[in-house]
Structure 1
Amino acid sequence: MAYEMNFAPVFTRAPDLVHGTINTIVLSAESIAIGLAIGLGVALTRVNGPRWGAAAAATYVEAFRNTPLLVQLFLLFFGMPYVGFRLSADHAAIVAISLNLGAYSAEIFRAGLLAIPRTQIEAGFALGLSRLQVMRYIIIIPALRVIYPALTGQLTLTLLGTSIASSISATELTLAGSKIESQSFRSLETFLVVAAIYICITFCFRLVYWLIGLWLFRRRDPQTGLAGAVLKLETREGGA
């Protein structure tokens, strides 16, 4: 007997799917923001920090890159209460996903930082640029241009990885789908809808990354890197 698709039981619980979708977007956005900040800080520490700081940063990266996200999530949610810290499911998910992304993005950031020639940085200082100008125009923006495709790909994986948070009952889309499936017994229909929603969310985030890329890299060579920084400095001096 052929299986008959029936999406009605799923769509009648649309508010639950909407709530789960919103929570997934919020969880992803918060985790990405925190994770990128951690990753950049760790990368800078590994490249320019003291030896003990670089060693600590490398240990963190290796620990989180060589253990599953699910294990990290369980350690935070089930293990931390034993040492006096209790996190809610949502907070544990944010912390675990942020730390996981921080480790992966740190290596991506470090690759971009190491791609900037040392001589170009020294030339920036020789031309009278401040440390902040060198960091902004000669290091950060050109490095981001190199690593941006890999970084946005990692962010997409992080967004999809938030589904793991359903294992500790964090309120997100996969958990909402699981509850609907258990109530409606329409497994195929439920998770087809959930998959479609994830695809829509992913494309929306990718659109945001594309727009951010346009804004960050709107000035083409020679408006970026050392030439761009020198041009900005000359413009300011000329205006003065």
Structure 2
Amino acid sequence: MALHLDFSVVLERWPGFLSGAVLTLELTLVAVSLGTVIGTLGAIGRGSRNGVVRRISGIYVEAVRNTPLLVQVFLVYFGLASLGLKFSAVTVAIVALTINVGAYTTEIMRAGFEAVPRGQIEAAAGLALSRAQITWHVVLLPAIEKVWPALTSQFVLLMLATSICSQISAEELTAVANYVQSDTYRAFETYIVVAVLYVALSLVMRALFWGLGLVLFPRRRRLGTPL
């Protein structure tokens, strides 16, 4: 039997696909921003001399990394509802995605912190730099620079994982695709279009983070080091 593809009826729904793609990017960028803060604090906690802080950070990382994202989304979604807290699907998705990416970012940032030579920090202190200057210029920025490619890959993976949020009716790209294919009965064509859009979104995100890396790490730009 010959395969007959008809994209016309699917492409007529382009406003819905555009809306879903925009929400996918919004979910990703908000979760990435909040998750980076959590991950940085978590990495500091993992290296803390305080045993309680170190153990709490470790439990958080292991709990998130060893459970599926879908289960985490459901835990947040139904957990908040059971406490009488009613939030939109988008808010719940942001919370779940932030918790997830925060754990992975913790381990990536911890590797970055451990890669900063101790002598470099001592030299900065010997130059009478303030604690804030040492933290930002000698520890944090060099640590992020070393793990920037890993962070970029993790953030792109998070964008792809937002598709799971369609299970709680967050109307991101995959949710829109589900609506379109159920309405048009053109599932194959619909998911081909969605796959192409996800590839495009991945390329856009990589370009954005590449550009951000050029701004944050001028030394690598001058040396021509890949970001």
- Provide TM-score, normalisation by structure 1: 0.89
Cα displacement (A) at 1:222: 10
d(CA) in 2 for partners of 1:130, 1:96: 37
* Structure 2 equivalent of residue 229 of structure 1: none
Aligned residues: 223
* C-alpha contact 2:214 2:221 (8 A) present in aligned 1: no
- The answer to whether structure 1 residue 135 and structure 2 residue 139 are counterparts is no
Cα displacement (A) at 1:18: 1.1
d(CA) in 2 for partners of 1:105, 1:180: 34
- The answer to whether structure 1 residue 169 and structure 2 residue 196 are counterparts is no
Q: Secondary structure, in 3 states, of the residue corresponding to 1:219?
A: helix
Q: Deviations over 1:52-71 (max 9, x none)?
A: 11211111111111110000
Amino acid at match of 2:195: A
* Structure 1 equivalent of residue 15 of structure 2: 15
* C-alpha contact 2:28 2:162 (8 A) present in aligned 1: yes
Deviates more, 1:73-82 or 1:60-69: 73-82
* C-alpha contact 1:17 1:176 (8 A) present in aligned 2: yes
Q: 1:199 to 1:221 in 2, by over 3 A?
A: closer
Q: Deviations over 1:82-134 (max 9, x none)?
A: 23333321111100011000000000000100111222211211121111111
d(CA) in 1 for partners of 2:155, 2:22: 18
Identity of aligned residues (%): 42
Amino acid at match of 2:177: G
- The answer to whether structure 1 residue 61 and structure 2 residue 55 are counterparts is no
* Structure 1 equivalent of residue 39 of structure 2: 39
Gap regions ≥5 residues in structure 2: none
Q: 1:209 to 1:220 in 2, by over 3 A?
A: closer
* Structure 2 equivalent of residue 30 of structure 1: 30
Q: Which has the larger radius of gyration?
A: 1
* C-alpha contact 1:23 1:173 (8 A) present in aligned 2: yes
Amino acid at match of 1:214: L
Q: 1:54 to 1:222 in 2, by over 3 A?
A: farther
* Structure 1 equivalent of residue 75 of structure 2: 75
RMSD of Structure 2 on Structure 1 (CA): 1.7
d(CA) in 2 for partners of 1:210, 1:57: 29
Gap regions ≥5 residues in structure 1: 224-240
